[in-house]
């Protein structure tokens, strides 16, 4: 498959490129208030999927983004979507008789929402087919071998449901690429975006394989050229590729993505229907059909977090790698219009262990997405004991960190490796060979000991306990097993291990001195609590009645996963699908009737379950 795709041409819209209305949406004194069919608040995958679908169906759309760049936290993500029945796996999912509704019912437990889950499962393949055949640039590739996170649960599969954005050439965005939010710097290599499944493997083998060495050399060469010409990387992967592809398609359909446009208020009619927005506290824009909130949840809303996150309620630390400015604006706007904010799920957010990178200028957060799975790496608690399977999903490990601490204790753990493992795979922000480790040791990010006892003293852990933990683990690891937590036994564990390390890709003794440790605290990859919505993404009040003209998608809406994290892409898959469903609903509504709260197809304005 080609690495990059060239956008297909589409029929021109009857208004200028990059604008959703004609004339452009600027207001002079005494001018008429601008009006569009659909206003989308937020420019992540959910918001842009809404905009692209609505525009393709003939509606005028403007996307309003608070930040100076577009893409939201999606642009920093892996760009993976969980879409059962996606059609990208010729042999189908494995096992073939697995059922996604059964799996989601198991994962969500008492929070299972049958109507919305079934709407998602029915529409997700249609959304994907539309994006790939009906837009100029949105394309996906299969994530072969990417298992559901709980492959032994009823209805789960070991491959076939997760897909990823195909890498993209940023020059296809033209000058607009400068407004694309860059990837999270902490998980790039010298600023280069890496394809998680291919480039990282070559990076790990660069000092042992001529093929891998030249692959990395070519990456660095291309990146250097891009910096000289474009001032940023043009080889876009992961979430950056997904947003670039959605944005290219939106621009080709005449959608304006307006940045530095903070929505400060929803405008409403006397009967409560939402009729538009106020931007930057000054400019009003009218929406003939509806306003869609897609502002990314509340990962940086400290007040809301401190009322919901168990470790923060007790005064512990929580650090999110979410895009700055992602402070819960969409949810606050919805609540002001009467929306019901739902928290009755098992977890308010998707937990992930993170570490803090010392930096005098700013607090930098590194999400531990890959290193925990590698052989020669373990996690221990404040006592020096292992407490979970390190190769389980970030959400599962985060929950284990919360469970492990006693009431009133801070949530933290230590990620420990030997010299062989850190030189081959790196550890956190510390890069593998040939990059030096000394800067990370000097800064205090990486703790080091010539022996296990010395490391234990350095990190404040009981030396006898840590020695016993390593002795027990190493005895098992020498046989390729983990009798305590069964690490490496599931398909998901093995996916991010080292396939070339046998017999267990996730397990090896920690035996080569010196030894290293990084302090982990809890962070998130997005929030799950959110506004109540129905199967059309319409926002609901506490009594389950619909707020006419108001929709919510992505992390502004209550997750259909019930606070669980079933597989890679369970945020972006539903975000784009419900954006697609919201746009379909809006396109099937007549402007006058919808504004009055009576959609053309006469759906009930009260949702019962």
pLDDT of residue 17: 30
**CA atoms within 13 A of residue 292's CA, in its CB half-sphere:** 39
pLDDT of residue 317: 86
Angle at 577 between CA 574 and CA 578, to 5 degrees: 85
pLDDT of residue 47: 98
* Prediction pTM value: 0.89
Strands in 391-484 per DSSP E? 413-418, 447-449
User: Which segments in the chain show pLDDT lower than 70?
Assistant: 1-31, 188-208, 212-217, 219-223, 225-227, 230, 592-609
Please tell me the total number of residues recorded for the chain in this structure.
Answer: 609
Q: Report d(CA 532, CA 541) in Å as an integer.
A: 7
pLDDT of residue 76: 92
Measure the CA dihedral 293/299/303/306, to 10°: 140
Q: Report d(CA 56, CA 134) in Å as an integer.
A: 8
Ranges of CATH 3.90.700.10 domains, the chain: 349-524
- 349-524: CATH topology is Flavocytochrome C3; Chain A, domain 1 (3.90.700)
Is the distance from CB of 557 to CB of 533 less than 8 angstroms?
Answer: yes
Measure the CA dihedral 306/310/313/315, to 10°: -110
Closest by CA position to 298, among listed 260, 252, 335, 353: 335
Q: What is the assigned CATH class of domain 35-188+233-295+528-595?
A: alpha beta
- Residues whose CB is less than 8 angstroms from the CB of residue 192 and which lie 6 or more positions away in sequence, other chains included: 219, 220, 223, 233, 235
Ranges of CATH 3.50.50.60 domains, the chain: 35-188+233-295+528-595
Q: Report d(CA 242, CA 324) in Å as an integer.
A: 19
pLDDT of residue 324: 87
CA distances from 500 to 152, 206, 417, 494, 537 (A): 24, 15, 19, 11, 45
Task: Give the other-Cβ count within 10 Å of 266's Cβ.
Answer: 23
Q: Which residues pair with 464 in a beta bridge?
A: none
């Amino acid at each position: 498959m080609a690495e990059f795709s060239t956008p297909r041409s589409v029929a021109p819209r009857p208004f200028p490129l990059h604008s959703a209305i004609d004339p452009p949406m600027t207001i002079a004194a005494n001018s008429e208030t601008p009006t569009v069919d659909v206003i989308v608040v937020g420019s992540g995958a959910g918001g842009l999927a809404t905009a692209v679908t609505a525009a393709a169906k003939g509606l005028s759309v403007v996307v309003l983004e608070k930040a100076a760049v577009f893409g939201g936290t999606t642009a920093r993500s892996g760009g993976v979507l969980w879409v059962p029945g996606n059609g990208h796996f010729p042999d189908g999912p494995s096992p073939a008789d697995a059922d996604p509704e059964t799996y989601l019912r198991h994962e969500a437990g008492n929070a299972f929402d049958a109507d919305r889950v079934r709407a998602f499962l029915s529409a997700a393949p249609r959304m994907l087919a539309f994006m790939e055949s009906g837009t100029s640039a949105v394309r996906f590739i299969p994530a072969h071998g990417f298992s559901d996170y709980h492959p032994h649960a009823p209805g789960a599969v070991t491959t076939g449901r997760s897909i990823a954005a195909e890498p993209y050439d940023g020059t296809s965005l033209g000058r607009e690429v400068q407004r694309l939010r860059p990837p999270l710097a902490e998980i790039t290599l010298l600023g280069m975006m890496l394809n998680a499944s291919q480039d990282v493997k070559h990076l790990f083998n660069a000092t042992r394989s001529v093929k891998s060495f030249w692959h990395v050399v070519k990456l660095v060469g291309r990146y250097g050229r891009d910096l000289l010409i474009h001032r940023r990387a043009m080889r876009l992967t992961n979430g950056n590729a997904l947003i670039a592809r959605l944005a290219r398609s939106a621009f080709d359909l005449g959608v304006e993505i307006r940045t530095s446009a903070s929505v400060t208020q929803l405008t409403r009619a006397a009967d409560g229907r939402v009729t538009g927005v106020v931007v930057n506290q000054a400019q009003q824009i009218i929406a003939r059909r509806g306003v869609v909130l897609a502002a990314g949840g509340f990962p940086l809303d400290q007040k809301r977090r401190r009322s919901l996150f168990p470790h923060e309620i007790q005064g512990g630390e929580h650090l999110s790698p979410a895009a700055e400015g992602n402070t819960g604006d969409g949810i606050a706007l919805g609540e002001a219009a009467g929306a019901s904010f739902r928290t009755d799920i098992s977890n308010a957010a998707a937990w992930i262990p993170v570490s803090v990178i010392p930096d005098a200028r700013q607090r930098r957060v590194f999400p531990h997405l890959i290193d925990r799975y590698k052989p020669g790496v373990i996690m221990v608690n404040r006592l020096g004991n292992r407490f979970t399977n390190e190769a389980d999903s970030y959400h599962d490990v985060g929950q284990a960190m919360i469970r492990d601490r006693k009431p009133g204790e801070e949530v933290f753990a230590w990620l420990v490796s030997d010299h062989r493992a850190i030189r081959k795979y790196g550890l956190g922000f510390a890069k593998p060979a040939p990059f030096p480790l000394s800067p990370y040791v000097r800064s205090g990010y990486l703790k080091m000991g010539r022996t296990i006892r010395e490391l234990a003293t350095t990190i404040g852990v009981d030396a006898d306990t840590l020695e016993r933990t390593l002795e027990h683990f190493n005895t098992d690891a020498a046989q390729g097993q983990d009798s305590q937590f069964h690490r490496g036994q599931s398909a998901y564990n093995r996916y991010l291990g080292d396939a070339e390390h046998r017999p267990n890709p996730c397990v090896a003794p920690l035996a080569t001195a010196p030894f290293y440790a990084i302090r982990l605290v809890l962070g998130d990859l997005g929030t799950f609590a959110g506004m109540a919505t129905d199967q059309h993404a319409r926002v609901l009040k506490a009594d389950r009645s619909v707020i006419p003209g108001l929709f919510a998608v992505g992390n502004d809406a209550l997750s259909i996963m019930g606070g669980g994290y079933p597989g890679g892409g369970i945020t972006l898959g539903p975000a784009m699908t419900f954006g697609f469903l919201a746009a379909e609903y809006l396109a099937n509504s007549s402007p006058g009737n919808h504004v009055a709260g009576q959609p053309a197809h006469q759906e009930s304005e009260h949702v019962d379950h």
